[in-house]
């Protein structure tokens, strides 16, 4: 357990990333001090988890608005009654799930999302865990030579290949879950190593879903180094694993972590509600 908190209990899940928080009830509301300490834990651990939260969609939105402005995902099916909430749904008959490869959300945006608040409404009896990896640890454990090389590099990110029309070729069970292929027109360039806007720490910022290539490099030249960085970023020792239960919530920092949703629950239903919080343009590690 982590000391230094007066109103909440913070229990780290691994050395580098993730902590469970207890002592709060979102439905009843958080005091100013509680919320400050929750944000403190968020910055310290990259992703925080809370269990046994019985909240309505309105309470989910109200809680999210305390973190910042909500950004609506353009490609996920929204909750009909609450369009700022995205559904992360897998029906019993569907084989593929959403988010099964390591990634960080919205890196294709000019100002990437700060983070996401994911709430479990229905979970399988077994399986469906989510893995998180620390991009601080990924950067810190690179060699000095690699750090010096990456510190001055930038990379191109895009939504076109991930959510555009060609992304759905051969997939037969995305209907009702993903769409708006005509809106997959976002391209952005970000530093490969960023200075985190809250912690000031340096973090690796490339991901397999949305990073296309290094700025000034061809895709062919970029791919070997990107592949190395992806494998390095997801090393087991940099990660934690969260087992979902109904009513649990995760709040993760897209600038400090990446995540991967395991697809190991064929024949079972899973429904999560996700709200994404707007972020800001990312600063490089060196100016």
Q: Where are the domains of the chain?
A: 9-284
pTM of the complete model = 0.93
Burial of 54 by CB count in 10 Å (0-12 exposed, 13-18 middle, 19+ buried)?
exposed
Q: How far apart are the first and last CA of the chain?
A: 37
Of 103, 106, 157, 273, which residue is the catalytic one? 103
Give the span between the Cα atoms of 232 and 142, in whole angstroms: 8
Residue 196 a catalytic site member: no
Residue 103 a catalytic site member: yes
Per-residue pLDDT of the chain (287 residues; tens, 9 = 90+): 667 899 999 999 999 999 999 999 999 999 999 999 999 999 999 999 999 999 999 999 999 999 999 998 776 677 789 989 989 889 998 888 877 899 999 898 999 999 999 999 999 999 999 999 999 999 999 999 999 999 999 999 987 766 666 654 445 555 555 555 666 578 899 999 999 999 999 999 999 999 999 999 999 999 999 999 999 999 999 999 999 999 999 999 999 999 999 999 999 999 999 999 999 999 998 76
Cα 219-225-230 angle, rounded to 5 deg: 105
Residue 173 a catalytic site member: no
Residue 270 a catalytic site member: no
Contact present, 153 and 245 (Cβ < 8 Å): no
Contact present, 279 and 255 (Cβ < 8 Å): yes
Of 60, 74, 89, 105, which residue is the catalytic one? 105
Give the CATH H-level superfamily of domain 9-284. Answer: Clavaminate synthase-like (3.60.130.10)
């Amino acid at each position: 357990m982590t000391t230094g908190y007066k109103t909440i209990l913070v229990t780290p899940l691994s050395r580098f990333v993730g902590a469970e928080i207890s002592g709060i009830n979102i439905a009843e509301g958080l005091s100013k001090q509680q919320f400050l300490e929750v944000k403190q834990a968020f910055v310290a651990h990259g992703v925080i988890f809370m269990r046994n939260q019985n909240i309505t969609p309105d309470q989910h939105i109200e809680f999210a608005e305390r973190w910042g402005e909500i950004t609506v995902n353009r490609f996920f099916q929204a909750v009909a009654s609450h369009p700022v909430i995205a559904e992360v749904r897998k029906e019993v008959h569907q084989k593929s799930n959403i988010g099964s490869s390591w990634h960080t959300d919205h890196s294709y945006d000019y100002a990437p999302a700060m983070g996401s608040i994911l709430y479990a409404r229905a979970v399988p009896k077994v399986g469906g865990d989510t893995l998180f990896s620390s991009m601080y640890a990924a950067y810190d454990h690179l060699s000095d030579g690699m750090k010096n090389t990456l510190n001055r590099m930038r990379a191109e990110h895009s939504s076109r290949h991930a959510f555009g029309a060609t992304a759905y070729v051969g997939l037969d069970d995305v209907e009702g879950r993903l769409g708006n292929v005509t809106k997959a027109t976002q391209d952005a360039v970000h530093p490969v190593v960023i200075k985190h806007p809250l912690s000031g720490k340096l973090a690796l910022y490339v991901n397999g879903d949305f990073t296309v290539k290094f700025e000034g490099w061809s895709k062919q030249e970029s791919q070997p180094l990107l592949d190395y960085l992806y494998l390095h970023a997801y090393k087991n020792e940099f990660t934690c694993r969260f087992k979902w239960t109904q009513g649990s919530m995760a709040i993760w920092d897209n600038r400090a972590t990446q995540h991967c949703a395991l697809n190991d629950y064929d024949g079972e239903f899973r429904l999560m509600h996700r709200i994404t919080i707007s972020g800001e343009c990312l600063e490089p590690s060196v100016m």
